[in-house]
Amino acid sequence: MRTYHEIRLSDRHITSKELHGEQVIQAGRYLIAKTLLEMDVASIDPLSPRNPLIFSAGPFSGTAWSNANRISVGCKSPLTGGVKEANGGGTFAYALGQINTAGLTLLDASPDWVVIHLTKGGDIEFDDAAPYMGKGNFEVADQLIEKYGKRVALAICGPVGEYQGLLAGVSFTDKDLRPTRLAARGGVGAVMGSKKVKAIVVDMNKMPTFEEPKKVTAGVRKYAKMIQEDEVVQNGYRPLGTMAMADFQNQFGGLPVRNFSAGRLADTGAGEEFKMGAAYIGPLNTARGGEQSHACMPGCLIQCSNIYMDADGNEVASPIEYETLGLLGTNCGLSDPDDLARVNAIANDLGVDTIETGATLAVLMEAGVGEFGDVEFMADALDEIRQGTENGRIWAQGTAFAGAHYEAARIPVIKGQALGAYDPRVVEGTGLGMMTTAQGADHTVGNLPRLDTSEMDLEEILAQSLVVQTKVAAADSLGLCAFGQTVTNTNTDFLAETLNAAHGTSLDAGFFDALGSDALRLEREFNDKAGFTDKDDELPTFFYEEELPPSGRVARFHGADVHGIYEGLPS
């Protein structure tokens, strides 16, 4: 059993209900899409009090189960106008689980800025947020930890979220109390700001209660063993992290470079040095005393995260991820990881999505507001976004808005949201995921980054995309980090058995794909109600018209070709 809270902010009325069995298990993306449909909010203004903001933890949250403590944040997206689930790492879901809480929904808006505190005694308290307003996330986290102690997890609305800038995510503390793990995408931080909730503090407590605790503990151990024996984890994610993808995409020709005008930054075959991937950064950072294997949440044995140091051995930013290297880095013309780390650290302090922010800055550069590769321009622009100046507020509305404002030629968005770091002319499998998902251009929903599709037809790519989209939707509904998918996707019988022991259900191995399929159907249904059509699955025109160097490829598929993908889901 776990408790779920609905907190009506307008009068601080709290409705708490007990969840049992499958109600605890069907969390995250599934729960968010289902709740948004039930609340009939497809046609509302996303920044109005009617938009709920949902925080949902998975069924193993609160345990040391490796990579099972992702937190899902959901609402109608103010960036896309569609369904939104953005998930982040860190300790927030872990702490919720430790107080036997499955999640919470924020309803309405508070009359004054508040900090909400969920105590280990089961109380929900409202504190004055005045001491934290307008400050960067690191200072706010320090203040909150001083007030509430170190045995807490934090969710913070940063200074950009305060004024409802759509770049804003919700920032969560990692296991070392850095506020740098974001539910980044879709403007969820702006929705938190619209509700005048500055932060949520959750006390850590103890291992949650389960139906058969010994079997759950054995499951935690067995999963850990499988992760430690998994080749992809041990030879890829753990030593190299996601930044290894930059080396691959630079070779593959799918790296976003200077606002998606090229697919490769450095021709390593011709002797040019590529400094924006793991091959260069890993040894450099290790020599400086940085960490290339770091866990963002308790118990994670994949440890894809990192801590990047400067030449003097001082921490600059954590984590440096591939998507940030791509969008805030090469896509803005940067070629030095120290420059990227500098702006990444500022973005972390602001609590903004580095994908949307990087794509926005690159559009500004293309429009002549700045120069590609000019890190000083980027730092100054982020400062304007922090201050909320007139320009800063325009830029904080994201890539689509800023691109239209400056009449930029290339505006790399789908459904109003910037693309992840995979040029869809070359990385077609990921491109189809970003086109078709109801989430907007989100690569995580169905990433096939290494799939060479040059000899494949549309039907084959769609089929592969549907398989991976289904499995990711299931993982996102269970609080599982997708980087463990080589183990979770192939052991759904074991997952079902352990969930049954945890929550008294009688699932079989087929539950995993069924949960993912249902989540995808619900998300599409929500977007249908919000008025989306196949035209919204189209790529921006330049992807069809401009050949991408060095491959020379253009986009092959249109919205009408791919929109029917979910008709292939089993009924």
From the list 94-102, 221-229, 289-297, 381-389, the region that binds ligand SF4 by CB under 6 A is 289-297
Distance in angstroms (rounded) separating the CA atoms of residues 256 and 251: 12
Q: Which residue from 35, 80, 259, 305 is in contact with ligand SF4, where contact means CB under 6 A?
A: 305
Residue by residue, DSSP assigns 331-348 as: GGT---HHHHHHHHHHHH
Within positions 481 to 500, which residues make up the interface with ligand SF4, using CB under 6 A? 481, 483
From the list 104-112, 196-204, 252-260, 301-309, the region that binds ligand SF4 by CB under 6 A is 301-309
Residue by residue, DSSP assigns 444-477 as: GGS--TT---TT--HHHHHHHHHHHHHHHHHHHH
Q: Among 103, 95, 296, which residue's Cα sits nearest to residue 202?
A: 95
Interface with ligand SF4, residue 302, by CB under 6 A? yes
* Total residues at interface with ligand SF4 (CB under 6 A): 12
Within positions 429 to 458, which residues make up the interface with ligand SF4, using CB under 6 A? none
Minimum distance of ligand SF4 from residue 468's CB (angstroms): 17
Minimum distance of ligand SF4 from residue 482's CB (angstroms): 8
Distances (CA, A) of 65 to 5, 120, 225: 24, 21, 11
Distance in angstroms (rounded) separating the CA atoms of residues 447 and 326: 15
From the list 144-152, 302-310, 356-364, 389-397, the region that binds ligand SF4 by CB under 6 A is 302-310
Distance in angstroms (rounded) separating the CA atoms of residues 435 and 419: 9
From the list 115-123, 296-304, 331-339, 560-568, the region that binds ligand SF4 by CB under 6 A is 296-304
Backbone angles phi, psi at 323, to 5 degrees: -60, -35
Minimum distance of ligand SF4 from residue 297's CB (angstroms): 5
Backbone angles phi, psi at 136, to 5 degrees: -70, 160
Query: Which residue, 195 or 294, has its beta carbon nearer to ligand SF4?
Result: 294
Interface with ligand SF4, residue 194, by CB under 6 A? no
Pair 152, 145: CB distance under 8 Å: yes
Residue 346, burial from CB neighbour count under 10 angstroms (0-12, 13-18, 19+): buried
Minimum distance of ligand SF4 from residue 241's CB (angstroms): 8
Within positions 33 to 92, which residues make up the interface with ligand SF4, using CB under 6 A? 67, 89
Structure tokens belonging to residue 565: 């993908």
Query: Which residue, 354 or 360, has its beta carbon nearer to ligand SF4?
Result: 354
Residue 462, burial from CB neighbour count under 10 angstroms (0-12, 13-18, 19+): buried
Distance in angstroms (rounded) separating the CA atoms of residues 567 and 565: 5
Question: Among positive and negative, which fits the CA dihedral 141, 145, 150, 153?
Answer: negative
Q: Which residue from 300, 317, 466, 473 is in contact with ligand SF4, where contact means CB under 6 A?
A: 300
517-555 burial by CB neighbour count: b if 16+ within 10 A, else e? Answer: bbbbbbbbbbbebbebeeebbbbbebbeeeebeebebeb
From the list 40-48, 295-303, 358-366, 438-446, the region that binds ligand SF4 by CB under 6 A is 295-303
Interface with ligand SF4, residue 93, by CB under 6 A? no
Query: Which residue, 251 or 293, has its beta carbon nearer to ligand SF4?
Result: 293
From the list 150-158, 293-301, 420-428, 466-474, the region that binds ligand SF4 by CB under 6 A is 293-301
Interface with ligand SF4, residue 9, by CB under 6 A? no
From the list 49-57, 248-256, 294-302, 466-474, the region that binds ligand SF4 by CB under 6 A is 294-302
Structure tokens belonging to residue 231: 């080749």
Interface with ligand SF4, residue 478, by CB under 6 A? no
Minimum distance of ligand SF4 from residue 517's CB (angstroms): 24
Q: What residues make contact with ligand SF4 under the rule CB under 6 A?
A: 67, 89, 295-297, 300, 302-305, 481, 483
